[in-house]
Amino acid sequence: MAEGHALNCMRHMAHIAFIGLGVMGGPIAGHLAKAGHQLTVYNRSIGKAKSWAEVYGGAVAVSPAKAAEFADIVISCVGTDDDLAQIALGRDGVFRVMKPGGLFIDHTTVSARIARQLFVEGESLGLHCVDAPVSGGQAGAENGRLSIMCGGTEPAVDAAKIVMQAYAARIVHVGGAGAGQTTKMVNQICIGGVIQGLAEALRFAQAAELNLDKVFEAISGGAAQSWQMDNRWKTMTQDSFDFGFAVDWMRKDLGLALEEARANGATLPVTALIDQFYADVQAMSGSRQDTSALVRRITRA
């Protein structure tokens, strides 16, 4: 069976084509190389691919198709729906050269629509596709501690898990094709709301002239505690936003959630409002700042 072939490939060291070596993809590919897999990498900027190969070894390809030519598994981590469609379905896309039984794992945060499209296109070619967006940010990628939410068939996800465990702390199969992407939308909806609440709470504490370190000590061990509070409260008090997940990317992700909500009938009034708040931060030259820069639009008393 094709599924069994893919699974067997990954129980031994696999030949992996990795497409996209940005702040997330580069470290993920690095963990795969350290785990002993044979990698051929492609990046739109070939200089970045060559720099990666100088550190981790492996081969550098001049196109996605060339990277995937002899691969058992293709993993992508690019930017947008259009980027993903191009590297998968374009003239030099990986689907043109992947052999039946091959496994395609996508870590890009994109629409559920394109995830389902790739699943159908891949199925017609005998390929097994897993939409597997990640959470945990650059630090999670670098430390190999990502949370991965997967959509696809059970055999394909089980096969993908064997490879993904090199860089994940948690891997959950949440449903069929596109379910990984819709779960990532849930994740971003939650994060946006938490950051806005944290921003308002911080400005309230400042207006009340409270000791912010003591406030954090008092509330971070109770019901208000969150990852955002633990990791961003102090930096937000210092107006430090030059790290983490950029506002531009958060707006892209919230846009995907709002688009999906229009399709499935969900109501997201707070998410829509926070999306506009992030537009305000972009207008304040905060496009590349961390998402916690949301606090900037709330003036101090």
Which residues are designated catalytic? 184
CA atoms in the 13 A half-sphere facing the CB of 288: 1
d(CA 188, CA 202) in angstroms, rounded, equals 21
The two most distant CA atoms of the chain are separated, in Å, by 67
Of the candidates 4, 13, 6, 71, which has an alpha carbon nearest to the alpha carbon of residue 41?
Answer: 71
Cβ(286)–Cβ(247) under 8 Å? Answer: yes
Of the candidates 57, 123, 61, which has an alpha carbon nearest to the alpha carbon of residue 87?
Answer: 61
Residue 180: CB atoms within 10 Å: 28
Token couple for 86: 């191009």
Please give the distance of CA 11 from its chain centroid, rounded to a whole number.
25
Beta strands per DSSP E along 110-266: 128-131, 134-135, 146-151, 168-175
Cβ(32)–Cβ(18) under 8 Å? Answer: yes
Q: Which residues partner with 146 through β-bridges?
A: 168
Q: Which residues partner with 105 through β-bridges?
A: 75, 130
Positive/negative CA dihedral, 206, 211, 213, 214? negative
Backbone phi, psi, residue 242, to 5°: -95, 55
